[in-house]
Structure 1
Amino acid sequence: MQKTLVVLVYTRTGWDIKNVTALLPLSVLYLARPLSRAGFQPVIIDQRIQPDWAARLAELAPQALLVGISAMTGTQIAWGLKAAAVARQAAPATRIVWGGIHPSLLPEQTARHPLVDFVVRGEGEITLPELAAALAANEAPRHVAGLTWFDGETLVQTPDRPRLADLSEALIPDYGALRVEDYLTTQTLGLRDLAITTSRGCPNGCRYCYNLPYNGRRWRAQPAEQVVEHIAQIVRRFGVQGILIKDDNFYADRRRVEAIAAGLKSRNLAVTIRGECRADYIARHWDEPFLDYLRNNGFREMTVGAESGDDKTLARLGKDITVADIREANRRLGRAGIPTKFTFMTGFPEESEAARRRTIDLMLELTDANPTARLTPLHLYTPYPGTPLFAEAVAAGYRPPADLAEWAAVSFHNLDLPWIDRRLSRKLEKLSVATYFLDRQTVAEYFTGRPLIQWAARLYSRIIRWRARRMFLSCMPETALINFYRQRH
């Protein structure tokens, strides 16, 4: 009797709190429906919220046709290797298939690892069911596009599979494949929310972003009417009040956004939408009537990729925005009453101490000028293979990890960038921790319904803002405590 069970593992990210930061595992959830339609039985194991994930995987692996693992660079690879080791020990004959951004960018290197049997390059909605069918028929999958593996010592790479042209159904998950209640959070203005995506890719050319090699600056989207219908279904089915849109560039098509807003209004959907947007869209192309229209039709929170407070750094990153754009976007959004979360990065090659200082100053300035502005923690730049900035990092002396196990160790604590010495690394880690609390609100809102934690977070925020203005961050013993909490969750 042929096996039909396909186990899909979503790995830990390093900052995983159930109903707080752990969002829907969309990368594996999107695979459940096409697998079911092809006659297979998908089961999702989520390491972030299932403490017994290893026992569950060991139980299912012997019954499975394959175990699929989705991973991004760093922590997710480390936990993916742990899952693969459990599966291999429990069922040596069960194939282990890796997919996601990192394996797609470095398929040959990934496939060399002994705990990897196949790599799915790019989107897996068609490739994985076809691979499963070939394995079920005991056939070599050489006819399946988008695969990389080793046949003995011989590398096998089948032709690239074109990206999905039609996302009409691909971005509507099979919610029956998991318990949705486990993934409801309060990240959208403290409301009961759920994460979805409505598009893939980005037309812009940020030189550090995985989208350049992965999507080739191509942006694809669901039609507006299907987005509205999807939102209506999950509002009705799960009682959500907020929609957290995880697109790389939700606002790339203004007409589509207007159509979605009109659809939400026509169906009287009292739901709050939060999505990613570029500063130049807002500062250069969106007037106040349009922002008012968005706010009045549910678009009450945005995330804006600012990345730096230094114009030279922004130019090197290929952001095609200026600090003036960021300030103007903040002003317009503040006037429109749309709370905004700004993202920032640091640790770039040739980034000066003065440039970092300007970034911290801008973070403080934005929250001073706009009480509704929020900040994400300061992220450390990670060179992504295939991006223009990766080549520059290598030219500057960066030695990329040589295999999958080395990539698993990449983190804030272990990112070997030659332009960042140990002293600067410790300083940047403290800056990252400090910026979690810089806006007075973000961490507190994560813990809606936990008043003691909220009170402590707001008090700590006042202290951190005072210290950040003076860059008095050399002595931060609380960093160890916060990192311990993050590792526990």
Structure 2
Amino acid sequence: MILLINPRATRPKNRRFPLSLMAIGAALPEGTDWEILDGNLPGMDLLADATAMIDARAATPDPVRAIALTVMPGPQLVSAVPLSKALKTRYPDIPIIWGGYFGSLYPAPVLNAPYVDWVIRGQGEHTFLELLEVIEGRRDPTSVKGLAFRQADGTHWIGPERNWVGPDELRDPPFHKIHIGTYLHPTILGRRSGVYQASIGCPFGCSFCGVISVFGRKEKVQAADRVAANLAFLVREHGMDSVHFYDNNFFLNEKHARAIGEAFLPLGISWWCEARVDTLSRFSDDTWDLLRRAGLKMVFCGAESGSDEVLAKMSKGTTTDQILAVAAKTREHRIIPEFSFVFGDPDEPERETDNTLRFIRRLKAINPEMELITYFYTPTPQRAATYGDVDPLTGTPTDLDEWIQPDWVSWMTHEDPHLPWMDRRIKARVENFELVLKSRFPSVHDGRTRAWGKLVGRILALRSWAREDYRNPVLLRSVHRLAQRTRDDRQAYGHLRQGADALDVAA
């Protein structure tokens, strides 16, 4: 029996299908018993539940023979470390396996942890199957691509990268292994929103992106009709009315976008996806109209900077004119754009911040419905040069206990990385700007601020926005704090915060 664990990464009301573990389970040979324990479900005590399952199976012909955890940087790492420690202490003979982005990007600190036996880097389905052969004594671990482990002398073996496969070469998600209804929740997209991933990887080379670090510059997509068939099952059998796609790049090109639009038309769902501004800027009006009719409600774009010079430094491959064009097209076709921006240019952080803030104002003038997502630059290990030519590993912890300290969690989540070029004044300027903008133009995601708070915020922000004055908006900050039903939820999945006030419910 294989135990797959999803350490807590978010609050229960934000839980979503544990797609990565479902993919591993689907890849296991027929007849293999496996279960998922999801720490994001309400009332879950992962250690107690895992212990009960392991103990109950101990005297059976099929005891738990491996425990596998998926681990993302940030809050999930914080959950995974003490859980792995405790499980290894109680069950020293059961292998503990880590997969997910953290171990793929930072294998050394994971391999330094005596309570983790194996690390799967990159795509895990085939590597996991071969690792089971290793655990059964039928295979040499050094022959397994994508596998890393600690050797007898304490040194680290990091195996060669595995050539990964696309979703059409893998089995469909085994939805029968989870309670689907408990994962469908209200968002601004609908009353019963789910998630799905229809592709793997990304073909572009942004020099700050962890996806490129793990998968390289390539992408493989699932056929549009197969995506639609899986979604149709969730719509028909479980009442799903909307979906958030986890794909890092949802549209390969216009032909692919049209295939998706045609396949989604009969579904009657609303959806959110991530796309490139250069790709979107080349779409015809007919394609935009098709996507809107097929249910596209919001599209997230990594705009990243208001400077063509900086976009080139990032190896982004896009231009500010393309960003402006997408803002105009989304307004014309009544689709809400979300633009993310990365603040903290290592060379000229102050000038780049001012340029980008002015550019965001231009976008807001073109499309007042534009949503803003801000990040502070955190260097991520790259295959080639890193944005800003900085060493992404310098100063990073060598052990997991340090990685889960609050300062490093803020670093991993891009909330507050302490970097020498990111002056606190610049960070405060960005945060003040964001507060003024989102007070003047309340976000559609904001279901936590009471109606009176939004009204007062709009009034107070009018003058500041008109005068481009973002200096320490103390009164605005006080109103924002007092009008909150709940704290700002920085642990919502992706960018889908709870929507209108009526949807702001805890599950």
Tell whether the structures are fold-level matches, with TM greater than 0.5.
yes
Say yes or no: does 1:26 pair with 2:19.
Answer: yes
Number of the residue aligned with 2:303 = 306
Distance 1:127 1:312, change over 3 A: same
Q: 1:404 to 1:269 in 2, by over 3 A?
A: same
Aligned to 1:224: 224
Query: In the alignment, does 2:51 pair up with 1:58?
Result: yes
In structure 2, the partner of 1:407 is 403
* Equivalent residue letter for 1:155: H
Gaps in structure 2 of 5+ consecutive residues: 58-63, 493-507
> Which of 440, 445, 448 is 2:442 aligned to?
440
1:235 aligns with 2:202: no
Cα–Cα, structure 1 residues 325 and 192, in superposed 2: closer, same or farther, change >3 Å? Answer: same
Q: State the one-letter code of the partner of 1:236.
A: R
Contact 1:364 1:438 in 2 (8 A): no
CA contact (8 A) 1:224 1:257 kept: no
**Correspondences of 1:325-344 after superposition (within 5 Å):** 325-344=322-341
Matches of 2:113 and 2:431 in 1, distance apart? Answer: 30
The one-letter code sitting in structure 2 at the alignment partner of 1:442 is V
How many angstroms does 1:135 deviate by? 2.2
* Inter-CA distance 184–436: structure 2 relative to 1 (3 Å threshold): farther
Structure 2 match to 1:112:
112
Aligned partner of residue 420 in structure 1, secondary structure? coil
2:259 matched residue in structure 1: 259
Secondary structure of 1:94 counterpart: coil
Structure 2 Cα separation of the partners of residues 140 and 372 of structure 1 = 56
| 1:5 match | 2
- SS of the aligned residue for 1:68 comes to strand
Shift in Å, 1:215: 1.6
Match of 2:345 in 1: 348
Letter in 1 for 2:36: V
Which residue type is aligned with residue 34 of structure 1? Answer: A
1:391-428 deviation per Cα after TM superposition (whole angstroms, max 9, x unaligned): 74535995333333333342156633111245545555
Q: Report matched runs for 1:133-212 at 5 Å.
A: 133-136=133-136, 141-152=141-152, 153-164=154-165, 166-168=166-168, 170=170, 172-212=172-212
Question: Which residue number corresponds to residue 46 of structure 1?
Answer: 39
1:280 aligns with 2:278: yes
Report Cα offsets for 1:325-372 as digits up to 9, x if no partner.
111111011111122222222123124323213323333443343243
| Deviation readout 1:119-152 (Å, 9 max, x if unpaired) | 0011111222332343245866444332111122
User: How far off its partner does 1:306 sit?
Assistant: 1.0
Moved more, 219-228 or 308-317: 308-317
Equivalent position of 2:471 in the other structure: 472
For residue 383 of structure 1, report the CA deviation from its aligned partner: 0.9
Post-superposition CA distance 1:182-235 (Å, at most 9, x none): 322334534532110111111111111123222211110111221121121111
1:13-54 deviation line (CA, Å, top 9, x unaligned): xxx3434x4332222222121236361313232246444233
The worse-fitting range, judged by mean Cα deviation, of 38-47 and 453-462 is: 453-462
- 2:419 is matched with 417
Amino acid at match of 1:418: P
| Partner Cα separation in structure 1 for residue 251 and residue 230 of structure 2 | 18
Write out per-residue CA displacement over residues 245-286 of structure 1, whole angstroms, 9 at most, x where no aligned residue: 110111113222212222233xx2211232111112222x11
SS at match of 1:44: strand
Structure 2 CA distance, aligned partners of 1:255 and 1:188? Answer: 28
Provide the rounded CA distance (Å) in 2 between the counterparts of 1:133 and 1:280: 45
1:57-92 deviation line (CA, Å, top 9, x unaligned): 333355532222222223322221122123123322
C-alpha contact (below 8 Å) 1:383/1:393 kept by paired residues: no
For structure 1, list consecutive stretches of 5 or more residues without a partner in the other structure: none
Distance 1:57 1:436 in 2: 43
| Whole-angstrom CA distance in 1 between matches of 2:390 and 2:291 | 43
Q: How many residue pairs are counted as aligned between the two chains? A: 471
Q: Secondary structure at the match of 1:37?
A: coil
Cα 1:370/1:427, change in 2 over 3 Å: closer
